Amino acid sequence: MRRVCWSGWLSAALLLGFVVLASGCQASEPLVPASIQQKVNADDRERNYDLAWQEIRGLAGDIERGELATLEADSLLIASRMERLERGEASGLSSRPVASQLADWESENQSRSEQDRLTRLRELSQVLPEYFDPGDFADAQDIALEIYVIARSMEP
């Protein structure tokens, strides 16, 4: 009868478990392009705050006028600025919690009509300054990301 090398099997099982665990912790693809991250990180806090203030108001104006062509890029830039203001550095927003939240918003958005999406965009653009102005950058970032999700689903 053949002898089984239990220590070899145990080592292989532990290695396989480690690989599965480590691969499950990998971040997804960066949401924010490197060019935006670099641009936002190059600006100091005061400049990011001033630009974010202008961009948030510009975004709301674009939505009110129905000018949605740059909405995706604008909302990502705002989300990146919010992260910079909240944490001190902008990243690619590639964490699992961000990816999970985006998937939830995409799921909610699928059941909305085009008109409902426009209505939701208007609501979010009006609420965004209410979080940004007093310094609630984390919630403002979430609003910008939800705007991004809706903008991606809009017809050009």
Q: Does some domain include residue 91? A: yes
**How many domains does the chain contain in total?**
1
Q: Does some domain include residue 20? A: no
- Residue 28's pLDDT band (cuts 50, 70, 90): low
Q: Does some domain include residue 67? A: yes
Q: Does some domain include residue 6? A: no
- Residue 2's pLDDT band (cuts 50, 70, 90): low
3-state secondary structure labels for all residues of 1-70: CCCCCHHHHHHHHHHHHHHHHHHHCCCCCCCCCHHHHHHHHHCCHHHHHHHHHHHHHHHHHHHHHCCCCC
Give the model confidence (pLDDT) of 104-138 as tens digits.
999 998 999 999 999 999 999 999 999 999 999 99
Q: Does some domain include residue 53? A: yes
- Residue 156's pLDDT band (cuts 50, 70, 90): low
Q: Does some domain include residue 105? A: yes
Q: Does some domain include residue 56? A: yes
Q: Does some domain include residue 24? A: no
Containing domain of residue 126, as a range? 33-153
